[in-house]
């Protein structure tokens, strides 16, 4: 794997537990393991998924935008994104509406069949956007939108199931940084996901 260097503000980084790492002219410097001289660090452990995770942001990285709907009055899985690699926290967005204001539409972010977000509702016949910050994911986690409608004579509709985040460095070697460092635009490739709605 090619060497990867990260440009950060000219300052010092604090590792959890208090240890400091110097930053010179915007380049990370670190100890050459185990106790060698200060050298520019090669972030080779990126290949093990220990460096590039994510932090929630307003920036769209993945989307599953097709419209889905149903008339179930019980929570029903309506949208789903499968995450194909390890991630950090991210913001999950979706838009919700009812087909008739007499019926309340409900939507909620779930992960692997378990609710992890707030329960949102609307009587609007125009899409309303909602979002939740969810915790880290591992490979094959399922980020889902469950929905229901208060009256089965009408439909709940969901659209624009989206993941918003920025790549960030959260480890230096095997040490956790106290504060995540956002990486450059060229390193902001989206995480691999699979859109797999129930129907």
pLDDT tens track for 44-73: 333 333 455 788 889 999 999 999 999 999
Give pLDDT, residue 53: 73
Length of the chain: 199
Give pLDDT, residue 24: 36
Nearest CA to 135 among 112, 119, 158?
112
Mean pLDDT score across all residues of the chain = 77
CB of 65 within 8 A of CB of 94? no
Give pLDDT, residue 39: 32
Asked if the peptide bond before residue 34 counts as cis, ω within 30 degrees of 0, the response is: yes
Separation between Cα atoms, residue 188 and residue 186, nearest integer Å: 6
Residue 101: helix, strand or coil by DSSP? coil
Q: Is the pLDDT of residue 134 over 90?
A: yes
Q: Is the pLDDT of residue 166 over 50?
A: yes
CB of 56 within 8 A of CB of 165? yes
> How much is the CA Rg of the chain, to the nearest whole Å?
21
Q: How far is CA 190 from the centre of its chain?
A: 10
Q: Is 104 exposed, middle or buried (0-12, 13-18, 19+ CB in 10 A)?
A: middle
Residue 184 banded pLDDT, cuts 50, 70, 90: low
Residue 25 banded pLDDT, cuts 50, 70, 90: very low
Mean pLDDT of 184-194: 77
Separation between Cα atoms, residue 138 and residue 142, nearest integer Å: 9
Of 117 and 86, more confident: 117
Domains observed in the chain: 56-165 (2.60.120.260)
Give pLDDT, residue 123: 98
pLDDT tens track for 74-104: 999 999 999 998 888 899 999 999 999 999 9
Dihedral sign of CA atoms 146, 149, 154, 157 in order: negative
């Amino acid at each position: 794997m090619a060497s990867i260097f990260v440009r950060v503000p000219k300052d010092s980084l604090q590792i959890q537990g208090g240890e400091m790492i110097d930053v010179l002219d915007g380049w990370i410097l670190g100890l050459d393991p185990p106790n060698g001289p200060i050298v520019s660090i090669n972030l080779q452990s990126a290949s093990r998924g220990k460096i590039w995770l994510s932090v929630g942001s307003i920036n769209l990285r993945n989307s599953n935008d097709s419209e889905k709907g149903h008339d179930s009055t019980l929570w029903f899985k309506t949208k789903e994104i499968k995450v194909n690699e390890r991630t950090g926290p991210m913001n999950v967005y979706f838009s919700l509406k009812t087909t008739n204001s007499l019926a309340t539409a409900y939507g909620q972010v779930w992960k692997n069949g378990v609710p992890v977000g707030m329960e949102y509702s609307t009587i609007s016949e125009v899409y309303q956007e909602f979002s939740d910050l969810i915790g880290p994911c591992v490979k094959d986690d399922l980020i889902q939108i469950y929905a229901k409608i208060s009256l089965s004579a009408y439909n709940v509709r969901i659209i624009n199931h989206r993941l918003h985040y920025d790549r960030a460095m959260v480890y230096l070697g095997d040490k956790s940084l106290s504060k995540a460092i956002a990486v450059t635009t060229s390193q902001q490739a989206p995480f691999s996901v699979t859109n797999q709605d129930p129907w």
